[in-house]
Structure 1
């Protein structure tokens, strides 16, 4: 009897509770070990996937590199053929021009016809122009410059600052300033020539150009400079210079050469007013 009283006073919980607690603890232990086992299996599976991907990338890399080299060789070959054909066309054009002048300069009617042809070619940007003028050079900011602020991105997701509309405004302002012939990135601006954005690049007459963007304008340099200094184009460039670090340089020069533009066949034309 005394032992029963001592048991009731010292052992407040039924032994079944202790057994149940022991079983729960054993279950949690097994669960933790099972969870760790699955984590190990998952880690091994992920490592195996990455190893397989790395092995596949290494096996495919030589073929990919070879394909890139073949494509690059094809592009260079096409560029060489195009350059050769362009040079040949220019030589033939020069021969035709010389022969035409030789035959037409002998009489008054021929000289009048030559004057009309020269005026038409000048309007069509069909011949090269050399003389004094302005050079406007616009350079993208250094890649190291911090442009991570989304508010400073002129094109979402792109670090490009100079856009087609900026160069279009420069060209239009130079025309207003008195330019007689203009080239952007070595491409003559003439009828049907456009300056367009193409993703992260700019195309002039469908030819890609890159920074620094050089705009040559043949014309009276001092008068052009005075007008261009007060133009909306230069104001925008100065704003880009302050906000983004764009390089802007305007200089006068003698002996600037603007190349001939692309001459396209005209299928239909009508003089305005007729």
Structure 2
């Protein structure tokens, strides 16, 4: 109650005595302009650096894609050359060995071994199992589109492995996934979002083709663990799962590799 005067009045009086003046509008405007210019310079520099980085990233990405496409083209060219040379070797071998009885016997044995190793193309009736990734992620805000389990679930490598193994167990004589023949040393693996069969990318839908007796294949497959597994995956996650007969399946040859070690394990 005794010190009722605001200290600001005393401060203002002291400033007047010392000759301090309040900044003019022009001076304040100048400082604001300088500050705005500094802020603009900072933002402009940041934008230029970001644009330069984005340009470098785009350039690097374009170069990497070009290298990938070049490597793919080179791989296709080498594969075509390999197939042409293999056909020439086959033709020359048939000419040399088919001339006498002993050579014909050796040639027949070689063809049996090649058929077992899946290194020659085959065709015939059989069964086709198709697995398809879900078309799109459902809208979880719409109760009519909700499905059990994870909405990101799709076909896994172990799903394809189980179907292929079930086909062999059902009596298949030859099996292919997409355009890749499944031979003795072929693997089915996932790498990120890509499905690799014999290290070759195979896109969805995954078509597992098996040559053999249609009735025997279908009867044995529908009671297999793979069928029960994929039926459950279809119902839970919306994965496509269909089975169809085919009168004439065309399966390509598998890639031949040098076998360094093998051991007989007994009857299958």
TM-score (norm 1): 0.75
Q: Does 1:152 align with 2:145?
A: no
Any idea what SS the aligned residue of 2:244 has? strand
RMSD: 3.0
Equivalent in 80, 88, 98 of residue 95 of structure 1: 88
Q: 1:272 to 1:140 in 2, by over 3 A?
A: closer
Q: 1:191 to 1:54 in 2, by over 3 A?
A: farther
The structure number with the bigger radius of gyration is 1
1:188: which partner in 2? 181
Q: Per-residue displacement from partner, 1:95-140 (whole Å, max 9, x unpaired)?
A: 1112212222232212221121112111211111111111111111
Q: Does 1:177 align with 2:170?
A: yes
Looking at secondary structure, tell me which structure has more helix per residue: 1
Contact 2:150 2:237 in 1 (8 A): no
Aligned length: 234
Equivalent in 119, 123, 131 of residue 130 of structure 1: 123
Equivalent in 58, 66, 83 of residue 73 of structure 1: 66
Q: Tell me, which stretches of 5 or more residues in structure 1 are unaligned?
A: 1-13, 24-44
Distance 1:184 1:142 in 2: 20
Give 1:208 shift.
Answer: 2.1
Any idea what SS the aligned residue of 1:152 has? coil
Any idea what SS the aligned residue of 2:216 has? helix
Contact 2:153 2:237 in 1 (8 A): no
2:157: which partner in 1? 164
Q: 1:237 to 1:147 in 2, by over 3 A?
A: farther
TM-score (norm 2): 0.76
Q: 1:218 to 1:62 in 2, by over 3 A?
A: same
Contact 1:147 1:153 in 2 (8 A): no
